[in-house]
């Protein structure tokens, strides 16, 4: 996404730049009904994920994020 050729390449870049945060690639269907924090036209969407140590939830608060989820379009 962005300057990356693929969503997987974007996830690898995010892992390098934002370690130790996680970056996952999921199907857009898995994130249905959720609001992305950003969208890249024609490429995909970016979600921020928070965790309490057990359960995961989508957040719009960067300071709560423990992971990024990228979905291709």
Total domains, the chain: 1
Q: Which of the two residues, 14 and 3, has the higher pLDDT score?
A: 14
Q: Which of the two residues, 40 and 44, has the higher pLDDT score?
A: 44
In a domain, 1, yes or no: no
Q: 3-state SS of the chain?
A: CCCCCCHHHHHHHHHHHCCCCEEEECCHHHHCCCCCCEEECCCEEEEEEEECCCCEEEECCHHHCCEEEEEEC
Q: What domain range is 42 assigned to?
A: 7-72
In a domain, 56, yes or no: yes
pTM tops 0.85, yes or no: yes
In a domain, 34, yes or no: yes
In a domain, 26, yes or no: yes
In a domain, 27, yes or no: yes
For residues 3-10, give the mean pLDDT: 87
């Amino acid at each position: 996404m962005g300057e990356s050729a693929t969503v997987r390449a974007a996830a690898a870049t995010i892992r390098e730049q934002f370690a130790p945060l996680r970056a996952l690639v999921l199907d857009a269907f898995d994130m249905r009904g959720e609001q992305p924090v950003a969208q890249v036209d024609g490429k995909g969407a970016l979600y921020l994920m928070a965790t309490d140590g057990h359960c995961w939830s989508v957040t719009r608060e960067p300071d709560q994020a423990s992971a990024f989820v990228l979905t291709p379009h």
